[in-house]
Structure 1
Amino acid sequence: MRENTNGEDEDFIVTVVPRSRRVGSWLVVAALVLLLVMAFTPAPYVIEAPGPVFNTLGQNHAVGSTPTSADEKKPLIVIKGHKTYATKGSLDLLTVSEIGNPQRKPNWFEVITAWFSSSRAVIPMGVAFPAGQNVREQNAENAQLMTNSQQDAIAAALNQLGYDFTQHVVVEQLTDGPAKGVLKVGDEILTVNGAQVKGVQSLRDLLKENGAGTPAAIGIRRDGEKTMVHVTPTTTAGAVVIGIGAGMEYDFPFTVKIQLSDVGGPSAGQMFALGIMDKLTPGSLNGGARVAGTGTIDSEGNVGAIGGIRQKMYGARQAGATVFLAPKANCNEVTGHIPSGLHVYAVKSLDDSIKVLDAVRTGSSTADLPTCPAS
């Protein structure tokens, strides 16, 4: 105590803050500082999220968006020189949006948030953008894959509908494999051991049937002349190969143009093919329902695996789809990750997909249709 100016005694109370409370306060401050740092610190990852959805039976703009240019008001699929039919509902193709690139990395806060999101995925920057490839080069590659996919989709649709047109399997590139010095770029591959080569997958299957270590008789057309060469396949990563990059060349009987801007990669192939088929046939493949799907396609109608399947399922559901066509090869990523209200069917070919659409259109039982195994 001490005496105040009035001569009275005055008590002074000293408050002592417990050590544990002081430590707790500092921890809170440290956590806030850490969060602030994380909010601005770049992370070496890319975030994959559901991207825009496009109806192949509709216009060239994303589902739910308003066209902002004349191009976006154009039909996504245009067919000239052949009768077309009215369609209903939708056959949606899905995309994946990438958040981040080597020039603009997402911050740690964004990455951690994405880790806890069922509709997003986090992948290392080096996987999304391999060393030695910049963003411009990757975009150019994806654009070329999209172009090739569109051509293969047209061929797959026309083959499925029984149209007759010229299509060739050709050698597009050579590696240091067994075909080097025997085959040339531009050679058309006609047969393997007497069996007709109808497409790239057909070529793979025939080489597998021949086996590695055994010479294969390959019929080719070079400079307009047919000849026979012999190549002994080897095994690479479990596949029987001859060391070539094979591709397709087509001469279609009428014009099919796919108008889709700013989307790359081959994963829309299946939905392009189904959209073309729907426009070329009376009635509606989907019965007017909202159907979505994904998957690569080749000229023989084989549906292949794609990336970002989880994000695409969520994108489909957000756009209102209840039926989803997924490549069977993606089932390991589908199982246990299907959004509520979405019915996913596993398909390996256009035949499989059409069976699903037939059931949707007619309202018949889907019990026997292939699905991915339950978790």
Structure 2
Amino acid sequence: MNSDQLIVKASSKFLKKLSIIFLTILLIVLVACGDSVENTPKEDLKPITLTFTKTSRPTYTFIPSRTPVPSDTPTPTMTINPIYMPWLSTAIVVEGTQKVEIRQTREALEKEISQFIIECDGVTQNAQYGSLSPNKGWISTSCGRHDLLVQNKEATKKWLLEFEDFLHPNLQSPGMPGSVHSVFWDEDNSYLYFSTGIGWSGGGTECFSWDVRTGLYRLNLKNGTWVTLVNPSEYFPGDHIAVSPTGRRYVSDINGILITDTYTGEVTQINATGIMAFRWSPDGTKLAYSTSNCNEEGFVIDSSVSVWDAITNEIRIIFATESEVLTPIQWDNNSVLRFESEKYKDLNTIYTLYVFDIIKDEVLFIGPSSLLP
């Protein structure tokens, strides 16, 4: 082989290597461009408003989950869009102030509670904990067992609500853990709404319902009689039940979603399954709820958060996603709703907080739940 042939062969090898390097660089650039994190909701995925009918079910709009950005710590974190920082800064200050107010309110209530003289196991003592009626004239408390003691401050009227009396026969067994607990005092100090909860130990699947009760009852404080509003559940762990802050409405997830107006007696039914949680707005006119579609292993396929409006009788889907459990947490006021997504990744659970203004159709915040105090 002469020198010219050697030069041609060497040049050919060099060009092949150069081509491979160029293709590799091009591939890296294309992958990087297609893997950007989307933090701003797309315009074509706006929440939709549906007019309620008893036979319709909202059509879910699936919005892709946002991709967590790895950090130096084992738990992935999400980058915060600068447009959400004003809400976050204000919320941190407000919640810091509220914590002080809550502590002061709790200390004042503890003093009021200690003024009640109750009898437990034949021993007369000052109450140590419990729930007070709006006028501070009634207390519901426990003597450390399953049952609930309800009495007035003068101890002239008192009733003991026994745990087993409010369980379905299917769940009545010796040693069944659980208790009777108060749910809501009406503003006229005439009625106490109460329920029962069944205790358990251990964990559950991703779609396991935690915030549940078995039955809802109303005690007449004048004569000690009570009525059943929601029948006790036949099966563990129970049903989702919530009373509005005004006491006008209560909701359960038996046979879909049933909303009862205690003033008019009207019952509104929404076709929905897989309820995860209920949250009423402060004025009791809006009900936020989440649903999850889960597989046989108990892992979520898709989830959504919706709001029912008692004034307009409309259902609105606020947000929907896949592979994450969505749960409404609280209303900041009658228009701003907080809800949270829960996603399992490797050995970590990622909690993302969403804050949405349903009146302005505006996302106020998306970011890690851990940022709030």
Same fold by TM-score greater than 0.5: no
Q: Specify which structure has the higher proportion of strand.
A: 2
TM-score by length of 2: 0.24
Highest RCO, 1 vs 2 (Cα 8 Å, sep ≥ 6): 1
Give the TM-score of the pair, scaled to structure 1.
Answer: 0.23
Which has more helix, going by share of residues? Answer: 1
